[in-house]
């Protein structure tokens, strides 16, 4: 019960840096970032303009770190950030921002807007202006181990089923394995096929792997809510386990923000470079494909398009792996106009999918129209993606618009068509 405006401002003072200063000074209010944001393009409401979502942060920067702003503050000419204002901004910073980073790609003066949103959330989190859904997901992850409150016995139970279904062993806590495989709760609960696929592929490739009973969860609600301290607590479990088991690599699951949390934020959260490599599952698969290990027994005939999850592709840098992999398994892959780093977000990233208020869900449904349009324009009935959170959001979108489109996970699809 200790979140406060003061703590929020304090946190912002800590995170404001030279890039943020440069970005705010560069903005010319051209509004082009709005054109890159699905919450604006699908609603037409100017308040969803990305740079506007940062207005309180801009004022804190100006008031704390510019000479003119400081003088204005001293003589009482500045409009100070208030709790009421942050409360109003909560919707803009969480509900209507998935941290997809598309705005950062188009800003003509080069502003990395999503970089600022991530930092702004540090202040929002400790000032108490966060959606309940993300707050409880964070709590569950910190207290119980995962955002869904899943504990190891439940995971072990799923693994048992996987072993039964595949006839393959899934090693746990095995020291010296090449890969420590991480999962996301969503995969464990909703898409256990993913775990089967991974087991199959590892066995096929003859690579040793293990799961860790004290670090199976890859997702990190801490970075979604915007608390580096809590994110550190969560990511440290993985780092500790990886170091204890002396693995060479840590394999991030398909889940987008999990990859972001461990691959890019991880070392910065714990404050030191990792002694192991963090690999996204698609990177591993593509490597196996190039080595000729990933041979398919047949190919999927259905025409399909790919949905590139923001945190893995645009924000994560796994740019080259997805297309060759989909072409490996699909005969009629149709590249769409806004693909790869230009893809449009599903609308549920950055923690948004954990917000279950009526308004947030209605907004998400609206924002989903852009995906709907992409599917319709391509004229396909199948879409493939590689992020558990995207999958849930997209499935919800399909339900909402009563679409009959099939949604497939790339890793599972590959496993399914893998040569025996």
Partner 1 sequence: MQGPLIDTLARRGVTRRTFLKYCATLASMMALPPTAGRAMAEAMSAARRPSVIWLPFQECTGCTESITRSHSPTIEGMIFDMISLDYQETLMAAAGHQAEEALHTAMKDNAGKYLLIVDGSIPLGQDGAYSCIGGRSNVDILKEAAQGAAAVIAVGSCASFGGIPKANPNPTGAVSVSDLVKDKPIVNIPGCPPIPVVMTGVLAHYLTFGSLPELDDKGRPKSFYGDTIHDRCYRRPFYDQGKFAKTFDDEGARQGWCLFELGCKGPVTHNACATVKWNGGTSWPVESGHGCLGCSEPDFWDGGSFYKALSAPADPLKFAAVAAVVGAGAGVAVSVANRVKKSAAKATHETTTLADLEK
Partner 2 sequence: MNELQFLTWTRGPGLDIAVGIFLLGVLWRLIEIYTLGRKKDLAAPRHTAGASGLHTVFRRSLPPPGMLKRSPVSYIGGYIFHIGLAIIVFLGAPHILLIKNLVGLSWPALPSQFIGLAAVVTMAAMVVMLADRINKPVKRFLSTFEDWFTWAVTFLPVLTGWMATQHLLLPYTQMLALHILSAEILLVVLPFSKLFHGFTLFGSRWYNGRVNGHKGVPV
Contact residues toward partner 2 (CB under 8 A) are 16-23, 25-32, 34-36, 40, 44, 46-47, 49, 51-52, 65-68, 104-112, 115, 263-268, 271-274, 277-278, 314-317, 319, 337-338, 341-342
* 352: nearest Cα among 262, 192, 241, 226: 226
Do 417 and 296 meet the contact criterion of CB atoms below 8 Å apart?
yes
Least separation in angstroms between residue 224's CB and partner 1 is: 12
Identify which of residues 77 and 109 has a Cβ nearer to partner 2 in the complex. 109
Determine, following the binding rule CB under 8 A, whether residue 93 of this chain makes contact with partner 1.
no
Among partner 2, partner 1, none, what does residue 40 contact (CB within 5–8 Å per kind)?
Answer: partner 2
Do 280 and 312 meet the contact criterion of CB atoms below 8 Å apart?
yes
Identify which of residues 45 and 399 has a Cβ nearer to partner 2 in the complex. 45
DSSP code of residue 109: T
Determine, following the binding rule CB under 8 A, whether residue 75 of this chain makes contact with partner 1.
no
| Calpha distance 99→125 (Å, rounded) | 15
Determine, following the binding rule CB under 8 A, whether residue 351 of this chain makes contact with partner 1.
no
Burial 262-278 (b: 16+ CB within 10 A, else e): bbbbbeebbeeebebeb
Site string for partner 1, 28-67 (x = CB under 8 A): ------------------------------------xxxx
Determine, following the binding rule CB under 8 A, whether residue 97 of this chain makes contact with partner 1.
no
| Calpha distance 328→82 (Å, rounded) | 54
Least separation in angstroms between residue 135's CB and partner 1 is: 5
Identify which of residues 97 and 211 has a Cβ nearer to partner 2 in the complex. 97
| Calpha distance 340→413 (Å, rounded) | 19
CB count within 10 Å of CB 321 equals 22
Least separation in angstroms between residue 386's CB and partner 2 is: 17
| Calpha distance 302→168 (Å, rounded) | 30
Least separation in angstroms between residue 150's CB and partner 1 is: 18
Options 101, 123, 128, 146; binder of partner 1; rule CB under 8 A: 128
Options 45, 178, 229, 381; binder of partner 1; rule CB under 8 A: 229
Identify which of residues 15 and 284 has a Cβ nearer to partner 1 in the complex. 15
* 253: nearest Cα among 209, 306, 207, 298: 209
Least separation in angstroms between residue 318's CB and partner 1 is: 30
Identify which of residues 21 and 342 has a Cβ nearer to partner 1 in the complex. 21
DSSP H or E stretch at residue 409: strand 406-409
In DSSP terms, which residues pair with 250 in a beta bridge? 180, 278
| Calpha distance 225→351 (Å, rounded) | 7
């Amino acid at each position: 019960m200790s979140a406060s405006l003061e703590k929020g401002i304090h946190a912002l003072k800590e995170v404001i840096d030279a890039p943020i200063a440069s970005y705010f000074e560069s903005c010319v209010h051209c509004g082009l970032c709005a054109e890159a944001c699905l919450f604006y393009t699908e609603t037409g409401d100017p308040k969803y303009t990305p740079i506007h979502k940062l207005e309180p942060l801009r004022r804190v920067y100006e008031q704390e770190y510019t000479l003119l702003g400081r003088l204005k503050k001293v003589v009482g000419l500045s409009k100070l950030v208030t709790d009421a204002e942050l409360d109003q901004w909560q919707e803009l910073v969480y509900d209507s921002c998935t941290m997809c980073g598309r705005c950062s790609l188009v800003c003509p003066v080069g502003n990395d807007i999503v970089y600022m949103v991530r930092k702004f959330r540090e202040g929002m989190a400790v000032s108490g202006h966060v959606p309940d859904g993300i707050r409880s997901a964070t709590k569950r992850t910190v207290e119980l181990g995962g955002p869904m409150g899943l504990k190891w016995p439940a995971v072990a139970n799923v693994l048992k089923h996987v072993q039964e279904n595949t006839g393959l062993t899934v090693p746990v806590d095995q020291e010296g394995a090449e890969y420590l495989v991480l999962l996301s709760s969503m995969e464990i609960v909703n898409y256990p096929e993913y775990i089967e696929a991974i087991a199959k592929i590892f066995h096929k490739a003859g690579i040793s792997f293990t799961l860790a009973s004290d670090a199976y969860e890859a997702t990190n609600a801490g970075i979604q809510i915007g608390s580096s301290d809590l994110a550190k607590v969560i990511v440290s479990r993985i780092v500790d386990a990886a170091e204890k088991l002396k693995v060479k690599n840590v394999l991030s699951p398909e889940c987008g923000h999990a990859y972001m949390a461990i691959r890019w934020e991880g070392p910065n959260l714990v404050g030191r470079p990792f002694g192991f490599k963090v690999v996204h599952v698609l990177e591993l698969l593509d490597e196996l494909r190039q080595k000729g290990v990933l041979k398919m027994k047949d190919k999927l005939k259905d025409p399909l398009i790919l949905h590139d999850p923001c945190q893995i592709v645009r924000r994560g840098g796994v740019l080259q792996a997805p297309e060759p992999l989909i072409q490996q398994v699909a005969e009629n892959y149709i590249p769409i106009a806004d693909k790869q780093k230009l893809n449009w977000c599903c609308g549920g990233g950055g923690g948004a999918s954990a917000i279950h208020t009526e308004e947030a869900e209605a907004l998400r449904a609206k924002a989903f129209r852009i995906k709907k349009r992409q599917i319709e324009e391509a004229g396909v009935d199948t879409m493939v993606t590689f992020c558990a959170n995207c999958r849930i959001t997209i499935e919800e979108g399909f339900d909402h618009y009563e679409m009959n489109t099939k949604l497939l996970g790339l890793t599972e699809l590959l496993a399914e068509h893998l040569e025996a």
